[in-house]
Structure formats: structure tokens, C-alpha cells
Amino acid sequence: MDSNLVEIFSSVQGEGPSVGESTLFIRFAGCDLRCSWCDSPHTWKPSQSCRIEKQRGSGKFLKVENPVSMNLVLDAAKNLSASSHRWISLTGGEPLLQKSLPEMASALKALGTKVQLETHGLEFRRLAEVLTSLDAISMDWKLSKDVKVAGGPQPVSFSPLHERFLGLARAVGLLTVKVVITPWTTKSEIEEISLSVAKIAPNATLVLQPVTPSGTVHNAPAAELLLSLARLAETFVQNVRVIPQTHKSYGAL
């Protein structure tokens, strides 16, 4: 089955618990959310073309038209030495919006590399179709004051959908729940999220990620706020980490 992709390239993971580990990224096009801090609005809608790195670490790309066939994705992954990476990351956009994801995840896993899904953590029905092919999930926990639904009704809270998603996602070996912290993130919001994680998936890692100023967000949170939220989260969740985006420091996407 064909996919609408933005890019396929080799790099290292720039955020979350596996930060710094070699990763082959397969970035899908299309997202139904609009995060106020989004640094990749080019992934919001289907893309006319996909860029594919020619050689691992070269930074040189060829361009192919979308949709991209499964065979081309697999050939690109093999050419970039997928099996020598610690991870293959299925990212976006939002990968779970594409019907091709279960087939692709299964085929990529067969290459011998662990497969990680990076997702906004709302499409729990689609997650059920791909879960057995995943070794790790990194799901966001969105706050409705920071994130809007594209072309649809705005929920008061994303929490009910996140909780259903989390209930399925806890079956994977490595589960991360990421919350982007802005200067206006509140203690009550972090307490609510922490309680949900502790109740539904107590073995998950809760990552508090200070926002990288982008989009309509112009400032990072103060250290005092960030550290106080981390202390609060630790009263409920066993494994809490504060991890900023690192890939911005060396110019990677």
C-alpha cells in the first residue's frame, strides 16, 4: 500500500528517553492538529513529493513523487542501512492517519531494527491495528488551550482520548508520554496528566519537554516553573524526566 511521505533520512533521536540514539526517520505527511508551537507546518497537509536521503549521513537527497510505494520505502531503508540503526521512527505529521501504517510497520520491523511510533496519542482505534509491530511508542499529551483541531470541533480536553490511547499503548515494551511545557502550563494540568499516567500506565516514562520557541510561542518556560512541575509530577509518576529538544542545536529537523 502506498503512503504520503515528507522524507526518509538517517539521524539521531532528538527528544525523549532515546535521545542521541541512531534513528532512521520515516516522516508521514498530514496532521489533524495545529499545535501553537509547531515547527513543521509543512507536514500538516499531504505532500506532492518526498525527499529521500541518498546515503546515510550525507545530507543529500533525491526527490520522488507521492504517494510512495512500500517497495520504495523498503529499498530506501535498506540503502540507508536500517539494520545498523537503534531505531526506525515512524513520525509525522501523524502516522496513524494513514491506512498504510500497519503494513509498513510490519515490513520495517522485519528488517531487524526496533520500530518506534511518534504520535499525538489520539487515534486509539488505529493504534490497535499496528500495535503488534511496535517496540516503542512516544505519545504526546496535548492541552486544548495550546492545540487546535483542524477543521473540526474543539474539545474541552483531549484527556479522554489520551487515556483510551494510553490503555492500549501500555502493551509495548517502551512507552513515553510527552508533555510540552510552555510559560503558561499550570500545576493543575500536570497533576491531572500525572494522575492518569500513574493509574493507567505506571511503567511509562513521563517527559516534560520545555517548548522550543516556534510558531506563536516566543519564549521558553522559566527554570523555576519547569523544575516545580517536575517535582510535582514525581509525586505521582515513578519515572519523570525533563528533556529538551536537542536536535535543534545541530540544525536537524
Residues 6+ apart with CB under 8 A from 141: 121, 158, 159, 162, 177, 178, 179, 193
The ranges assigned to domains in the chain are: 5-250
The grid coordinates listed for 183 are 510559560
Region of residue 77 (phi > 0: left; psi between -120 and 50: alpha; otherwise: beta): alpha
Helix, strand, coil fractions of the chain, as percent rounded to 5: 30, 25, 40
Closest among 237, 229, 238 to 182, alpha carbons compared? 229
Distance CA 8, CA 13 (A): 14
- The stretch 18-41 carries a mean pLDDT of 94
Instruction: Note the pLDDT tens digit of each residue in 30-67.
Output: 999 999 989 889 999 999 999 999 999 999 999 999 99
Distance CA 228, CA 45 (A): 37
| Per-residue pLDDT, 253 | 52
CB distance 72 to 49 below 8 Å: no
Q: Please indicate whether residue 253 or residue 191 has the higher confidence score (pLDDT).
A: 191
Instruction: Work out the mean pLDDT of the chain and round it to a whole number.
Output: 95
Instruction: Note the pLDDT tens digit of each residue in 209-228.
Output: 999 888 888 999 999 999 99
| Per-residue pLDDT, 247 | 63
CATH topology of domain 5-250: TIM Barrel (3.20.20)
> What is the pTM for the complete model shown?
0.95
The grid coordinates listed for 200 are 493507567
